[in-house]
Chains A and B, each alone.
Chain A
Amino acid sequence: MSDELNSIDESVRLIVMEARRPVAIDPEARRRLAEALRAEPAPTRSSRVLSWFVEPRPFALPPFTTAALAAGLVGIGVLTGIALNRDGRAPTEQPRAVAASSQLPDSVAPRAIKFVLVAPQAARVSVVGDFNGWDSAATPAKREADGTWTTYVPLRPGRHIYSFVVDGTHFVSDPSAPIAPDDGYGQKNSVVVVAGASS
């Protein structure tokens, strides 16, 4: 038994020992995983998603309202209650978030979703969501001269949960987008619904 276990209460130690026991997973789940892996293209150093990002693509951004209605996307909103100033004062200009989309030629391909957060006081902004494993390092936004932060994310049709991360610690939901059900972590996330090509 490790020293660390010796230092904890007996009842907690019992819980630890019990929780360390192996669990039973349906062998079918393992088989399904093997099948899904076989169906995947072989990974390479330059992944398809990465190259998608670096290839310049024209984005035809429709009027925001049209896009929002058509694709159920997030809207323009003013975020409140987010203290972005490093000196603790309320920011004079509140960040706002917009997103828009453009349709890629392939109907089954992801659609390019543009995320914009206006946060002049922020030092770093990224977008996290179920599409990037909630990895705050995966999708950094680029700062424009006017204090807006922009990034594009290829999203397949469907419902995606996301949030902005400001300065690596502040999770900022989009107040004008639908709020996802509580994630159990005390954090409010936003929802973007990407419409399919036929809708």
Chain B
Amino acid sequence: MSDAADVQRVLSGDVDAFGRLVDRYYERCARFAVRMLGSRDDAEDALQATFLRAYRSLGKYQERDKFSAWLYRILVNQCRSIAARRNQRERVFVREEAVLLNAPDRTPNWTGEESELVQRVLAELDPLLREAFLLKYIEEMSYEEMSTLTGVGVSALKMRVKRACDRLRARWEYIKDE
């Protein structure tokens, strides 16, 4: 069943249909929130707020928009809001925390070291650059989709993604050489 059909069912009183939308998008949204906020607790708060807000606002959802884009817009804004609220608290990335952010990996010889480094270099990135980078390469959105979602122009988003890549590459190579 399509997203639009599920939305219609919810608005017609079949509230359980919203569970299907949650099932469909929860893991993707979780991944974005964790990579964006660098904290599982904050990510869980963002997810809770996002799906609750989507549910409450479903009556205002316009079918001409893709549900996923509408949901992501809420998610991105919730992540921004949580980032604003967390009072610049210092994020201390210890290896255990970064490893725990990922789902268990059964790949032989996987130590979690790469996960730790990736979370670390992402955390060091300016939030606007990190947001653009994640939307582009992790969520695999087009620049046009990103522009609709963030309200930022395509050229500015391209610049942010390029800067993010440049800084990630520089940091990665520096850390690997440490």
Contacts and interface: CB of A to CB of B under 8 A. Distances in A.
Given A12-B172, A20-B138, A47-B59, A25 B43 contact: yes
A143 B137 CA distance: 41
Given A130-B85, A136-B151, A161-B81, A11 B172 contact: yes
A26 B40 contact: yes
A159 to B, nearest CB: 9
Looking at chain A's contact residues, the main secondary structure is loop
A67 B103 CA distance: 50
Contact of B103 (A19, A22, A32, A185): A22
Contacts of B15: 37, 42
Interface in A1-45: 2, 4-5, 8-9, 11-12, 14-16, 18-26, 29-30, 32-34, 36-37, 40, 42-45
Contacts of A33: 22, 47-48, 51-52
A189 B84 contact: yes
A180 interface: yes
B43 A40 contact: no
A21 B40 contact: no
Given A21-B105, A21-B115, A50-B59, A29 B47 contact: yes
B168 A15 contact: yes
B81 A134 contact: yes
Interface of A: 2, 4-5, 8-9, 11-12, 14-16, 18-26, 29-30, 32-34, 36-37, 40, 42-47, 49-50, 130, 133-136, 161, 168, 180-186, 189
29 contacts: A8-B137, A9-B165, A11-B173, A11-B176, A14-B172, A15-B121, A16-B137, A18-B114, A19-B118, A23-B27, A23-B34, A25-B27, A25-B40, A26-B44, A29-B44, A33-B51, A37-B19, A40-B52, A42-B15, A43-B10, A47-B57, A49-B56, A130-B81, A130-B85, A161-B84, A168-B151, A184-B83, A184-B84, A189-B84
